[in-house]
Amino acid sequence: MARYYDVHPQDPQPRAISQVVAQLRDDALIAYPTDSCYALGARLENHGGAERIRRIRHLDDKHHFTLVCADFAQLGQMVDLSNSAFRAIKAATPGPYTFILPATPEVPRRLAHPKKRSVGVRIPQHPVAQAILAELGEPILSSSLLLPGAEWPMTEGWQIKEELDDVLDAVVDAGDCGTTPTTVVDLTGGSPEVVREGAGDPSRFA
């Protein structure tokens, strides 16, 4: 049964955030809010975390997981950045964008794309996500909380708790944070390629 945390969307209670982070460090899988819909999250070192996310979302091994980072310095440890990628990401973060880039050795091999050795990275703007990241001190392995066959992600914490109570360890409810996932930009080639249009304005990468 998942623990349920009702947190303030702009000023999250420190005690609740500490309890969520304690669960993450104990290899929990959580649902938490971002600036572009709710997401599933686990620590990078949680060896079962990625597999649990794959099972819930029915994903194959070619799915690009996202490493949700607190800031640009943390992001830069996870992926290799060219000068042009550096400038593009710096101008668009924090915000509702996911960038696909070559993974550094810091990223466990099991979390990167099996052929491309690439991974998604993002820096969210949501105060609750930022509070969790600040206390955890490391990126969170994440994937949008979009269930198989569903057209839109779930937007209510109580609904997530009700639907996924048996497969999650915690639900962090900060109210409705929308149904639009991030805009995904592939920066592994010579020029940016928008592979999914979402909450972030894609025209800046046209």
| Residue 121: partners with Cβ closer than 8 Å, 6 or more residues away | 66, 67, 68, 69, 75, 78, 79, 98, 99, 101, 139
pTM: 0.95
Assigned token pair, 163: 């639907």
| DSSP H or E run through 170 | strand 170-173
Spell out the alpha helix ranges (H) of the chain. Answer: 14-25, 49-57, 72-78, 83-92, 127-136, 157-164
Helix axes 14-25, 127-136, angle to 10 degrees: 50
**Rounded Cα–Cα distance for residues 201 and 41 (Å):** 25
Instruction: Work out whether strand 183-186 and strand 193-196 pair parallel, antiparallel, or are unpaired.
Output: antiparallel
Question: For all residues of the chain together, what is the average pLDDT?
Answer: 95
Task: Return the pLDDT at 151.
Answer: 87
Q: Are 124 and 130 in contact (CB under 8 A)?
A: yes
pLDDT in tens, 99-117: 999 999 999 999 998 888 9
* Structure-model confidence comparison of residues 150 and 26, the more confident one: 26
Q: Does 64 score more than 90 pLDDT? A: no
**Rounded Cα–Cα distance for residues 132 and 139 (Å):** 10
Task: Determine the longest span between alpha carbons in the chain, in angstroms.
Answer: 46
pLDDT in tens, 120-144: 999 999 999 999 999 999 999 999 9
**Rounded Cα–Cα distance for residues 37 and 190 (Å):** 30
